[in-house]
Structure 1
Amino acid sequence: MTHTLFIAGDSTAAIKGASEKPMTGWGEFLQSYYGKSIKVENRAINGRSTKSFLADGRLAAIEQDFQAGDYLFIQFGHNDEKKEDPSRYTHPDTEYRHNLIQYIESARQRGGTPVLLTSCSRRLFTTEGKPDPLAVGPYPAAMRLVAEETQTPLLDIFEASQQLYDTLGDEESMKLFMHLPKGAHPNYPSGVEDNTHFSEEGARQITKLVVHAIEQSTDLPLLELKELLQ
């Protein structure tokens, strides 16, 4: 029997069009780790927060296709912190948490499994040369609290990505992101320096972190997925 793994999230996970390449979302590579019994349905989309994803009717669209036994991977935070945009901003201690609970309840009410994923860290380093623990503000911490309060499986991709950047260091970690000099790619003729969005290599590395977190999880009922990952 085939089950679907839906991804609800933002540009860090979303499928990118030809005009955006080589920018790549980590969700583009998840299917390659699974056999025919799991279908990855990547519904993440650029620029969305928990609030705007709901307002656009994108969770409602997932609900129409969601079946008992399916999984809903939920990763937001980058756009929830945009205070300058009221259509996307959510307070980490109130609306953000309430929205996450709405996603969680949506999956559970339909007989599925919700899974929270903390935001991939931005590539920001402190003056001491360590990854900035507030690279996505208070949103990863807020999601961890929601996971604990609702007994929802959590994949801490923020922490895992920070560890990856720390291992690579400031210079090497740049290769994981959209850093291109002027004239290096026709999609970015003026060059680009982006410490949020991933290169193809970066997206592949983040996908590996997601897969590893699934393998290491002790409270995530994805036994079939774990067998396929071995």
Structure 2
Amino acid sequence: MRFSSVSALMALTVLEAIATPVTPPDLAPRATPTVYLCGDSTMAKNGANDGDTDGWGQYFGTYTTVSVVNKAIGGRSARSYWNEGRFADVANVVKSGDIVVIEFGHNDGGSPESNDNGRSDCPGTGTETCVSDATGETVYTFVFYVIQAAKLMTAKGATVVLSSQTPNNLWETGSFVSAPPRFVGYQLTAQKALGANVYFVDHYQAVSNMYKKLGNSATNALYPNDHTHTSPTGASLSAQAFTQAIHTNLNGTTSLGSYIVSNPPTVY
């Protein structure tokens, strides 16, 4: 089933989407959960598809005791992943007890009202809407799309982990500069709106802590072509930072905590 930008959203008002939680049905869970990853090229297999980079989702399974399915796709935002029906595709295979990690932000900037690229979300944290100057569609906020996606999963009995985007190269200028993009806070806003069965992991902060420890030269070596996409080594380290954040309860407990390997790596 595919969701268009209009039909997928007509069933719920924006206010209902922000304020109304979904109670998962009483479904028979799997014997062990499967973890599904939804994100962009920083998470996806082969990263930017340039032969030099990879996404951290390819390495997270090394540090878990359950199966991990990487559904991340390069170039996507929360909006375009929703509009293309990719969240719906994941929801169609999710079973009760599964875990879905959602991480976007790198492609969500810009304005849909000015040279809309089909990825930009409407600015804001709640009921704001915009009209695309390219298609005329109503565009919603990052928080709205994430909440809708999380509700699809929790309706199937899954739990959801909202992960903030990985940082760009924080040593790019030669000095360590960490300024979280607004989408980091937006993920936390979505988690607080949803409450039960939805968790938050500040992946941005975990990787930022790691980069500060690594230093200038070692961090720059992880970015072969640009300031966003890392080498396979960098992707593996980002997966380790995510794992450490979960294992040490950086942002509180999550549904992933019970499925991290014993003695995972410490990278920050």
TM range (shorter): 0.7 to 0.9
Q: Deviations over 1:169-221 (max 9, x none)?
A: 333211122x2xxxxxxxxxxxxx30100101100100001111121224313
User: What CA distance in whole angstroms lies between the structure 2 residues aligned with 1:17 and 1:211?
Assistant: 19
Number of residue pairs matched by the alignment: 211
Tell me how large the CA RMSD over aligned residues is: 2.2
Residues 1:88 and 2:114 are matched in the alignment: no
Aligned partner (choices 68, 79, 87) of residue 51 of structure 1: 79
Alignment of 1:145-164 (within 5 A): 145-151=189-195, 152-164=198-210
Query: What percentage of residue pairs aligned between the two structures are identical?
Result: 27
* Larger fraction in strand: 1
The TM-score, its normalising length taken from structure 1, stands at 0.84
1:56 deviates by 1.1
Q: Deviations over 1:14-57 (max 9, x none)?
A: 0118963221100001112233xx21110000000000001111
Residues 1:205 and 2:205 are matched in the alignment: no
Partner of 2:266: none
The one-letter code of the counterpart of 1:120 is T
Aligned partner (choices 151, 168, 185) of residue 214 of structure 2: 168
User: What CA distance in whole angstroms lies between the structure 1 residues aligned with 2:36 and 2:48?
Assistant: 23
Q: Once superposed, which parts of structure 1, at least 4 consecutive aligned residues long, lie more than 4 Å away? A: 125-128
Partner of 2:10: none
1:132 deviates by 3.1
The structure-2 alpha-carbon separation of the partners of 1:141 and 1:223, relative to structure 1 and needing over 3 Å to count, comes to closer
The one-letter code of the counterpart of 1:211 is T
The structure-2 alpha-carbon separation of the partners of 1:104 and 1:17, relative to structure 1 and needing over 3 Å to count, comes to closer
Partner of 2:57: 27
Structure 2 alignment gaps of length 5 or more: 1-30, 127-140, 264-268
Aligned partner (choices 92, 97, 102) of residue 64 of structure 1: 92
Q: Given that residues 36 and 68 in structure 2 are in contact (C-alpha distance below 8 angstroms), is that contact kept between their aligned partners in structure 1?
A: yes
* Larger fraction in helix: 1
Partner of 1:142: 186
Q: Given that residues 176 and 202 in structure 1 are in contact (C-alpha distance below 8 angstroms), is that contact kept between their aligned partners in structure 2?
A: yes
The one-letter code of the counterpart of 1:225 is Y
